Amino acid sequence: MLTYALVSQAIGLSGASGTRAGGSLLLLALAAHAQYLTLPPELTWLATPQALGAMVALLAFEMYTQRDSDLRMVLGLAQFALSAGSGATVALASVGVGTEGLPPWAVGAVGAFVAVSTLSLRQWLHTRVDHLETEVLRPRKWLLRIEDCFGLGLAAVAILWAPLALVLVLLFTAACAVAGWLAYRLEARGRRPCPAGCGARIRQEASRCPKCHADVPIARRLDLRLAGRMRDALQSALGSGTSGVSRADPSVRRGGGKLPSRLG
């Protein structure tokens, strides 16, 4: 019988697959290996040591590729396929292939849809956040760290206490929507109409329009040299004694002359 707990577990694990596909499969397999869950006969291979090792490698590979923009672009379609397959697998494993009155293909389709939807929402949020990246502000790095914890935590909650998993999926969806809207507003504040009249909105610090490629005056300069400021402060504090000698004797400042040999 299809219960609220089973539906919550299927949606929670599928949502975790859209965040960390390898993590949801790994935790599901570990729960089955520890006999906490009973897998359908068709999916008992998930709990084998070989499958567990493959899922650990898959999780590590997935977490690594998420941090590299080039790999993310190359493996874009593969990531969707991985999330869809993982979402379908964990949904079938949690609800059961032989559920009465519910065909297996429908269970797998729902799991794949939830996983792909979660992945699409994540990528949309990443696109918004990428525009806020500077030499100082790195919101995407912290977003990835949060997703690592959330994906594994959601999978664990779906296995241990399924009803909470559905609530977390809904909260994650709402949080992504709000965070994306805030990122869009913050990024829009730092833009202005292109002075060349092409209609594009360019950043305040831009010297060239990305649409019409026209040279434009810089409206605002950013000083992001935090390390440089600390170095300048240390040099001014520690090098005040030598700076007076350098100013008094140009040969010392040039580094090519010798100190005068006057002995009094």
pLDDT tens by residue, 110-128: 999 999 999 999 888 888 8
- Give residue-wise pLDDT tens across range 179-212: 888 887 877 776 778 887 787 777 777 778 877 8
pTM of the model: 0.69
Residues 142 and 23 placed together within one structural domain of the fold: yes
Q: Considering the domain boundaries, does residue 218 fall inside one?
A: yes
- Confidence tier at 1 by pLDDT (50, 70, 90): low
* Residue 214 and residue 134 share a domain: no
For residues 106 and 202, state if they share a domain: no
For 150-168, what is the mean pLDDT?
Answer: 90
- Residues 95, 219 share a domain: no
**201 with 136, same domain?**
no
Report if residue 180 sits inside a domain. Answer: yes
One domain for residues 66 and 91: yes
Same domain for 171 and 89, yes or no, is: yes
Residues 134 and 54 in one domain: yes
The answer on 218 and 88 residing in a single domain is no
**Distance between CA 127 and CA 103 in Å, rounded?**
37
Residues 116, 46: Cα–Cα separation, whole Å: 21
Same domain, 201 and 167: no
133-158: pLDDT as tens digits: 665 667 778 888 888 889 899 999 99
Report the C-alpha gap between 119 and 113 in whole angstroms.
10
For residue 74, being part of any structural domain is answered with yes
Residue 113 lies in a domain: yes
Residue position matching structure tokens 């997935």? 62
Residue 22 within any structural domain of the chain:
yes
If one counts the domains in the chain, the total is 2
- Distance in Å from the first CA to the final CA of the chain: 104
Residues 123 and 207 in one domain: no
Range of the domain at 99: 4-190
Task: Write a three-state SS string for the chain.
Answer: CCCHHHHHHHHHHHHHHHHCHHHHHHHHHHHHHCCCCCCCHHHHHHHCHHHHHHHHHHHHHHHHHHCCHHHHHHCHHHHHHHHHHHHHHHHHHHHCCCCCCCCHHHHHHHHHHHHHHHHHHHHHHHHHHHCCCCCCCCHHHHHHHHHHHHHHHHHHHHHHCHHHHHHHHHHHHHHHHHHHHHHHHHHHHCEEECCCCCCCEEECCCCECCCCCCECCCCCCCCCCHHHHHHHHHHHHHCHHHHHHHHHCHHHHHCCCCCCCCCC
